[in-house]
Chains A and B, each alone.
Chain A
Amino acid sequence: MAKVRRSGGPDVRERQQQQKAKRGRGSPGIFALHLLLIVLCLLTAFPLLWMLSSALTPPQDLFAPGVRLIPTPPTLRNFPDAFALQPVGTWLLNSVVVASAITVGKLAVSVPAAYAFARLRFRGRNVLFGLVVGTMIVPDVITIVPNYILIADLDWIDTPQGVIVPMVAFTGFYVFLLRQAMLVLPQELIDAARVDGANTLTILWRVVLPLVRPTIAVVAVLSFLSAWNLYLWPLLVLQDAEAKTIAVGMQYFVGNAEGGQEWGALMATAALAILPPLLLYVLAQKAIVSAFVESGVKG
């Protein structure tokens, strides 16, 4: 609690300042707050900025003494280098395929279940819901040995479905989010549809889905991001160079005990790997917050 109080402290002051700020903008308190936040943001962003700048730095300057965030002159050379050395384009494509398929799969199984848990009454509902959200506390690494054996036995090593199918199961959080969104829909709408003779599927498709579209969008973005970032599972399942996703393909540039690293190409590939998720997030961030606000994340 001490921590809360400490961080609550400045807040109190800042808020008092803010009252004043309403009358006169740019008071010193607000200024100090901005300054603090800017420093925090710079610290947080530094590793990413450094990476982006490295991607634009000629490889021989990368490790020269001193720290420069702005390469002089910047170069795009690392990008064609990366594509020439390794199938970076294929990796990006694989990442898109894997992340999209996992997202679609998670939505396809989560939305109907969330609806049933939110709006229908049936025997065993609480137990089944418990089983679904219970998966939230199972770290996926725990299941990795049996799932690896299963995938190997299915002959799915080096295939996209080998990565995709098991990962669809880790969707407890999204069922939970969607259910929260569906809980607060007005019952009258559903009743009205039912009076018109609509069955459950029609109601879900015609009435409920359009109403929770923002939450679905958020679930899609979040699951795409987490699938894009998957590391350990694709590392095990995708062994062939052509089958890798971008996050694991990068190992090829790091080299091994034999030496011969390609840092310029590595940094360029890294930049390519982080840009899609960053862009997606920037586009979706408002929606994410408001979806959390609306669904009121509750235990």
Chain B
Amino acid sequence: MNQQRKISRRALLKGSLAAAGGAVLAPALAACGGEGRGVQDGVNPNGKIAIEYWIGVSQDTTTAFQSLIDEFNEANPNVTVNLKSYPSYADVAQALQTAAAARKMPAVVGLGYKELRYAAELIPHANIPDLPGFNAGWLEQNFAKAILDLGKVNGTQHIMPFLLGTPYLFYNADAFEQAGLSGPPRTWLELRDHARRLTDEIGRPSFSIPEEGYMWAYQSFIESNGVRLLEDTGSGYRVGIDGAGGVEALQLMAGMILEDETAVLVDDEQAAQSFQSGQLPLITGAGATVRAAQKQGNFNVGSAPLPVWEGKQKRVPVAGNGFFVPDVEPERQAAAWQMIEFLNEPETLTRWSEATGYPPPRSGLMDDPQYLKAFFDENRILRPELEQLGDEAVPYISWPGENGLEALEVLVDARDRIITDGQEAAPTLREAARRAEDLLND
């Protein structure tokens, strides 16, 4: 593989002529270099294997990962896993891209579901069922289909889901009480009323879906109203945000931001901070925020599932990351699978959930008194996430192809035109949907 890289370097420096030669030579050289390539990289002569595991999660979650990995290393003397941490999923994807170009990929990556299609298409990797040591029965027995689906494209398991996160509602129970509200809103229309009363009470905007350049809680907000942001029809992609449900949802949000002045658009960090310091009583967000707010203890923290649209099936996108195994030596892939199995042991998952608050990917543990029942009973604030992982859970959209992000950007732009600039929802969405389709089907 190194040979191939040298060829391509020369190609870069000397131009396309050498590139043509390299393309001819590379397969031949790669074939010769097949044997023993594992020795130089990762496998010691004494049979001990060292692999890298890349993640891009928050500080607290990284710490939790590290202690589980330490346990694994102790229990498995033949393998050493080195955890390498990046600031975000996007950084992991970018580093993986570079590593793939240089053919120096890690043995296992905690890849965001958002990046699923991109990685499945572009990064050489092993599908989960092809891993050395893989056990199909074990997988099907212990993991719900809805969970496994998060890592699939067209039925192929590219990612083995691990970290699961859904957006849910957090509220400042003290502020609710002062505004005379008895509990969290059940529907989005109720939420608008709640926000009005809260704003009347505190004299500033009281609600935020804190998203700028992407759609997560927005995916639920829009899709739960009977439309689909992205559908693969088999003959092409269809973008349905301009359906009646999408128009209604964004009109509601525009009304809250621009007319009622009860909602405000800020980024995640600022919203979380404003919530924790008691400035913003109602937000959507991920579990880490609500736990941080509870820890700070400035007020009584409440949580609830995301609201529904009356009479319609709610959909909640599950974000997070799962194990993705690039195309490396079989020995390292086997070691990766060994680690994956360890992290999915009921005991390990119990420690994982207790440390991070995230639901375990494996079925049955949440209600098992031997494992996590006590923890989730005690931390009722985390319950809404568990509830949403049932029938309502859908994959967090992974935008396909090299224009995927551009298509998402077109939709986000359209959303922002409506909710920050008051442009008319129906035509704006219609135009954006067609443009996004053009990009995706290009």
Instruction: Choose the segment among A109-117, A163-171, A209-217, A260-268 that binds chain B (4+ C-beta atoms closer than 8 Å).
Output: A260-268
- A37 at the binding interface (Cβ < 8 Å): no
Given A85-B59, A255-B58, 5 more A-B residue pairs with CB atoms under 8 Å apart are A239-B91, A252-B85, A259-B58, A259-B285, A261-B58
A positions within 8 Å CB-CB of B: 60, 62-65, 85-86, 149-150, 152-155, 157, 236, 239-241, 251-263
- A150 and B285 form a contact (CB under 8 A): no
Residues of chain A contacted by B61 (CB below 8 angstroms): 258, 260
- A153 and B276 form a contact (CB under 8 A): no
| Least distance between B380 CB and chain A CB atoms (Å) | 19
6 residue pairs A–B, Cβ–Cβ below 8 Å:
A63-B274, A63-B276, A155-B104, A239-B94, A251-B87, A257-B286
Given contacts A239-B94, A257-B268, A258-B288, contact A263 B319 (CB under 8 A): no
Given contacts A252-B59, A258-B57, contact A239 B9 (CB under 8 A): no
Majority-rule SS of B interface residues:
helix
Residues of chain A contacted by B289 (CB below 8 angstroms): 259-260
- B78 at the binding interface (Cβ < 8 Å): no
Give the contacting residue for A259; candidates B98, B101, B286; CB below 8 A: B286
- A262 and B279 form a contact (CB under 8 A): no
Interface residues on chain B, number (Cβ under 8 Å)? 44
Give the contacting residue for B273; candidates A149, A240, A251, A263; CB below 8 A: A263
- B58 and A239 form a contact (CB under 8 A): no
- A252 and B101 form a contact (CB under 8 A): no
Give the contacting residue for B59; candidates A150, A152, A157, A255; CB below 8 A: A255
- B95 and A239 form a contact (CB under 8 A): yes
- B102 at the binding interface (Cβ < 8 Å): yes
Give the contacting residue for B60; candidates A155, A239, A253, A260; CB below 8 A: A260
| Least distance between A270 CB and chain B CB atoms (Å) | 14
- B65 at the binding interface (Cβ < 8 Å): no
Residues of chain B contacted by A62 (CB below 8 angstroms): 277
Residues of chain A contacted by B233 (CB below 8 angstroms): none
| Least distance between B199 CB and chain A CB atoms (Å) | 16
- B286 and A153 form a contact (CB under 8 A): no
A100 to B84, CA, bound (A): 27
- B273 and A256 form a contact (CB under 8 A): no
Residues of chain B contacted by A154 (CB below 8 angstroms): 9
Residues of chain A contacted by B276 (CB below 8 angstroms): 63
B positions within 8 Å CB-CB of A: 5, 8-9, 12, 56-61, 84-89, 91, 94-95, 98, 101-102, 104, 165, 214, 216, 268-269, 272-274, 276-279, 285-289, 292, 296, 298, 319
A269 to B239, CA, bound (A): 44
Residues of chain A contacted by B5 (CB below 8 angstroms): 153, 155
- B277 and A63 form a contact (CB under 8 A): yes
| Least distance between A203 CB and chain B CB atoms (Å) | 37
| Least distance between A257 CB and chain B CB atoms (Å) | 6
Residues of chain B contacted by A239 (CB below 8 angstroms): 86, 91, 94-95, 98
| Least distance between A84 CB and chain B CB atoms (Å) | 10
Residues of chain B contacted by A86 (CB below 8 angstroms): 59
Closest to B57 in A: A258
Given contacts A241-B86, A258-B165, contact A150 B12 (CB under 8 A): yes
Give the contacting residue for A152; candidates B87, B98, B287; CB below 8 A: B98
- A63 and B273 form a contact (CB under 8 A): yes
- B87 and A259 form a contact (CB under 8 A): no
Closest to A262 in B: B59
A114 to B276, CA, bound (A): 57
A60 to B85, CA, bound (A): 26
Give the contacting residue for A256; candidates B87, B95, B102, B298; CB below 8 A: B87
Residues of chain B contacted by A64 (CB below 8 angstroms): 277
| Least distance between B369 CB and chain A CB atoms (Å) | 29
Closest to B163 in A: A258
Given contacts A60-B296, A149-B12, A152-B101, contact A256 B272 (CB under 8 A): no
